[in-house]
Amino acid sequence: MIWLSLRIGGESGFNSEAGCTILSMIRNWDVQVQEQVGERTEAGNKMGKWREESGQHRMGAEHTKDVTYICPFVGALRGILTVTNYRLFFRCINREPAFLLDLPLGVISKVDKIGGASSRGDVSYGLVCKDMRNLRFVYKPPEDSLQKSAFDVLTKFAFPNSNNLPLFAFEYDQVFPENGWKVYDALAEYKRQGLPNESWRISKVNDHYELCDSYPASLVVPVTITDEELRRVAAFRAKGRIPVLSWIHPESQAAVVRSSQPMSGVSGKRCKEDEKLLQAIMDANAQSHKLFIFDARPSVNAAANKMKGGGCESEDAYQNAELVFLDIHNIHVMRESLRKLREVVYPNIEDSHWLSNLESTHWLEHIKLILAGALRMADKVESGRTSVVVHCSDGWDRTAQLTSLTMIMLDAHYRTVTGFQTLIDKEWVSFGHRFQQRVGHGDQNHTDADRSPIFLQFIDCVWQMTQQFPAAFEFNEYFLITVLDHLYSCLFGTFLCNSEQQRVREELSKRTVSLWSLVNSQLEEFVNPLYVHYSSHVLLPSVSIRHLQLWLTYYIRWNPRMRPQEPVHQRYKELLAKRAELQKRVEELQRDVANRASVSSERAGSPTRSITPVQTFV
């Protein structure tokens, strides 16, 4: 069955406090700050049960009094600034109700000293954050030049990689009831898909990451292709990222296959093993005698890559294959688009030019192109029963966006909480999306050209789909925001490093905690009360720009004037409780009906006394 969206629903609300990084479960929470605050935030209440160990192994906190936070919404606020090895915490001392600001240091992208000291001797610092915020503080530096200020400590721990320090994830050892590192098992996921089978095998040619250091150890390839042929294909594909299966249709056997660009160059170099591999991918699907190759790039970019030795598949060389360009721009264009969006949404929104300013960022246009590309792929697999191969240049950015979204559209399993976790671990983490480079964990090089909001765009696309199909996803909006918050926080090991090989070498599953440990230990916080499970539903979202909207509860959540009046997260929980109550009542009624039917059946089958009709005469 296919769900087709024709019209998107209205904007959903969300409590911005609930969207903030969870406060209370972090070990290095400063004891003095706890005494000063005297109350828990909404997010802190959620995680209170894991707060007991918060003071263990905490590195010394640096407190700076008489700091002024220049808040863009309420003006200058004086207070106490505390910096630990994980977070910045500011509490206003002259305002009621108390003003609290909490910021994981991993969220900081840049620390700027703004100008020199003022006539009063004050120094101003600006913090550029990865979650759309820009913060500014003013304080008087200590008279003793040898005494470190909170901002010296902040710079040190915000960029640990640049200061020969470990990321905080390697210090954090909170134990949760659930172990998130056990969520994804490659062989178990392929088994769920019915693999291996008569057409596809699981190759161990990359078992030690020698074939491709950015690919996982287990790769699914056609049975007719030998490991030696795969090695020759790897020499022809950029970064050795050969075409391998991501997902297979349970009925038609049409496959979603990912790779990097072929290194054909300006001379149009060919590789017979690569051509044989793509032919084998097509032959593995008996439903179709055609193969679609989706190149995520604009055609002009693909042509330009030929000058660097790259390129795209020639339809002359790849028989029965059709090449389609999806016109999705590169990481540099996406980074610039997000920069423009930041300027539009933070700190203040200019109502009179809101639509034109938003349009000038081209953010929603990029979201549209990504969704449209995934939709075309899903349609070819589902309706056309045709296998598809997708790549960009290196196959770890736009390719991951497209395979993931296509799989969400086609497979309801990936719309569950654990299924979505599996999808991220598989298509993003194990297949080598370069999280370290794209996010810049612990690195103070703010202008690094490798940074780009690729994963943010993917989550935005998923959110767009949840708005069009509000009952199709088991997880709620808070779950998506939590994932993004911890993409930057460096609290968990889930998004660290650039490849599976690096993660194995760093022993992340032993030395760090998985984000899924947190999520799966309190699933009730992340479940969508409207969710209805249909295992065979295919989603075909509308990708018209008219049906897309800016994700206000993420991009503008820091603006207090944009907060919804109703605490939506609390409403989610109330709906879940009501749903459980109604389900229990339905089950009781079903048992009652079954019992009555059983009694009626017994009576109908038991022997009855014969009654002689009595004739009455008047």
Known catalytic residues are 392
- Residues 444 and 165: their CA atoms lie apart, in Å, by 13
Residues 6+ apart with CB under 8 A from 317: 270, 275
Residues 6+ apart with CB under 8 A from 148: 62
Q: How far from each other are the two terminal CA atoms of the chain, in whole angstroms?
A: 69
Q: Which two tokens stand for residue 99?
A: 């003003």
Paired with 388 in beta bridges are 256, 292
The single-letter code of the amino acid at 404 is S
Neighbours of 43 (CB within 10 A): 23
Closest C-alpha among 281, 352, 359 to residue 321: 281
346: left (phi over 0), alpha (psi -120 to 50) or beta: beta
- Residues 361 and 572: their CA atoms lie apart, in Å, by 32
User: What does the angle CA 586 – CA 592 – CA 594 come to, to the nearest 5 degrees?
Assistant: 105
Strand 75-83 to 108-114 pairing: unpaired
**Whole-Å CA distances, 579 to 83, 145, 336, 519, 526:** 43, 62, 44, 21, 15
Yes or no: say if 229 and 203 are a contact pair by the CB < 8 Å rule.
Answer: no
Residues 6+ apart with CB under 8 A from 237: 243, 259, 260, 261, 262, 263, 274
Q: Where are the beta strands (DSSP E) in 354-395?
A: 387-391
R_g of the chain computed on alpha carbons = 28
User: What does the angle CA 437 – CA 440 – CA 156 come to, to the nearest 5 degrees?
Assistant: 145
SS (H, E, C) 335-391: HHHHHHHHHHHCCCCCHHHHHHHHHHHCHHHHHHHHHHHHHHHHHHHHCCCCEEEEE
User: What does the angle CA 488 – CA 190 – CA 539 come to, to the nearest 5 degrees?
Assistant: 70
Backbone angles phi, psi at 359, to 5 degrees: -60, -35
Q: Where are the beta strands (DSSP E) in 374-469?
A: 387-391
- Residues 65 and 57: their CA atoms lie apart, in Å, by 24
Please state the separation of Cα 81 from the chain's center in Å: 31
- Residues 33 and 393: their CA atoms lie apart, in Å, by 48
Yes or no: say if 13 and 549 are a contact pair by the CB < 8 Å rule.
Answer: no
Paired with 244 in beta bridges are 258
Q: Which residues are annotated as a binding site?
A: 305-308, 330-331, 392-398
Closest C-alpha among 206, 86, 95 to residue 491: 86
The single-letter code of the amino acid at 64 is T
Closest C-alpha among 469, 355, 336 to residue 409: 469
Percent helix / strand / coil, the chain, rounded to 5: 40, 15, 45
Q: Which two tokens stand for residue 531?
A: 């969710």
Q: Where are the beta strands (DSSP E) in 23-177?
A: 62-71, 75-83, 87-92, 100-104, 108-114, 123-129, 134-139
